[in-house]
Chains A and B, each alone.
Chain A
């Protein structure tokens, strides 16, 4: 078993870190404070082939392995968790279903633009009354001649105001429950499609997550993605990969909080010496570092399963479950180490703390991950 990264993976980490430190870190606090989507970063990320890393070069991607991709998400998220999820949602949730389930015509039309980052994507599954219970969605898609007519509301749609290509889930046969869900590709500016006001959130404030509204939205028949009634399968398989991206985001947040805590502990002097000399702080750092290292192993292992063509649903769920709860825990301890200063905006750890929580919730709550994991062991 080789725990070392390849040369390429190490160099990718260094390059993404360099980009993050020069382009993302300087604006991260402002993005959070102003709830601002970093629109200016998208072409820069695309210019470095960071918007479609795991897709083959011939379809516009970078042709990178999945481990390299999660390393990139980790380093971006270390600087700014909002930017991390923008990239991950575009790459893993929006582009992947087109790559995996798209017809040749759909791939010709969308894939190169999405995998290269020229067009941003979004994934629209969640509804006001259908979160973890994704099968309870009520959005409908009625076939009428050569068109589908979509109606319904989707919530918390990452990238929605800036995306141009949306993967939208709606029921073509409501009586069939999850088997009646189908997936569709909807383009921005389609009549009947609109984007609502962005939510004001606890964290990842630079990531825009408004609702989208479908009101007699007519789309061509060939916008159906993955076949009639296959939407639930498309969604679940997409989320299997998406949660590895979120686990990498959580890992980046945890690492950022740990780094901040270590730096602060070495500088802060109380009782005549740095608090890093106090056992209480030392043990906190030890626990935090161990948890982050363990999270890293789970995240990279899940990504490695993708690279090796092995099943990764359970491994991805474990990675997301552990990394997300680690991020919350480590960010909490980081604030504790910072004391009162950690509670102010003068230090980044309060943002890490607020950003961390969402990783336990979206793309499958921790409870949903536990369902996936336990099912694989108890069947």
Chain B
């Protein structure tokens, strides 16, 4: 079985700061594998350990995604090899464009039985790439996946739904988006990390992939901080809980919140 895990090398917004003019300062944010992608790798590893599979990481993005540390970080988590498309023109790429690039990389790899992605990326959190990628490949997409077992062409997928677990059987290749709490990713061992640099890394040229042009172009025109509403700062004396409750409800009604 051949399993592709799509991962993202990016910065965590928690480490970025917002300037007074509303722009984001990423200079102190250290790039790493997007928070939820190790969950996808963990699901892939469990399936590979049970059924036998080659695990291939795929990523696309601007300059930096092809840095040795980025590949080692992914390979150190148990992938057998990685395929990278590093091109600065992808810096402002929309989710659809990125999905189209990933789809071409997966076609280049060939013979892929399953693609697993993280729930969403830590920086954009659009939750679009897995579904659009599936559409590009003509495969079913399943989100909120909590477990996957089985063999190529006979996959058994569990997904979390409100109140329970849905079980699906999929007879062909598919794109699965792992739910954020599907698994606790195992911590890479020291030997795995030290061996990561010896595993194969394939760089693909974006221009050579012949990604079909997008039908529409989406551009970010601006970002701004939300307006801060002045706080009322109204204090309610809670010495008498019943009276305090009445006063609170009155205040909320007057403010239009109730």
User: Do A64 and B190 touch (CB < 8 A)?
Assistant: yes
User: Do A62 and B187 touch (CB < 8 A)?
Assistant: no
Q: Does any Cβ of B come within 8 Å of A50's Cβ? A: yes
Contact residues of A between 36 and 88, Cβ < 8 Å to B: 47-50, 53, 57, 62-64, 68, 72
- Interface bits B49-86 vs A (CB < 8 Å: 1, else 0): 00000000000000000001100110010000000000
Stretch at the interface among B1-9, B191-199, B207-215: B191-199
Complex Cα gap A7–B71 (Å): 10
In the complex, which of the residues B32, B73, B184, B189 contacts A48, with contact meaning CB atoms closer than 8 Å? Answer: B189
Q: B128 CB to closest chain A CB, in angstroms?
A: 28
User: Do B190 and A62 touch (CB < 8 A)?
Assistant: yes
* Known pairs A7-B197, A8-B197; A53 contacts B68 (CB<8 A): no
The interface residues of chain B lying within 8 Å CB-to-CB of A49 are: 189-191
Q: Does any Cβ of B come within 8 Å of A19's Cβ? A: yes
The interface residues of chain B lying within 8 Å CB-to-CB of A7 are: 68-69, 72, 197
A: interface residue count bin = 20 to 34
A-B contact count (CB 8 A): 52
Q: B109 CB to closest chain A CB, in angstroms?
A: 25
Q: Does any Cβ of B come within 8 Å of A22's Cβ? A: yes
- Interface bits A16-30 vs B (CB < 8 Å: 1, else 0): 001100100000000
User: Do A12 and B191 touch (CB < 8 A)?
Assistant: no
Complex Cα gap A22–B87 (Å): 36
Q: A158 CB to closest chain B CB, in angstroms?
A: 22
The interface residues of chain A lying within 8 Å CB-to-CB of B184 are: 22
Q: List 19 A-B contacts (CB under 8 A).
A: A7-B68, A7-B69, A7-B72, A8-B194, A11-B72, A11-B193, A14-B32, A15-B188, A15-B190, A22-B184, A47-B189, A48-B188, A48-B189, A49-B191, A50-B190, A53-B190, A63-B191, A63-B194, A64-B190
Chain B interface (Cβ within 8 Å of chain A)? Answer: 32, 68-69, 72-73, 76, 184, 187-191, 193-194, 196-197
Chain A interface (Cβ within 8 Å of chain B)? Answer: 7-8, 10-12, 14-15, 18-19, 22, 47-50, 53, 57, 62-64, 68, 72
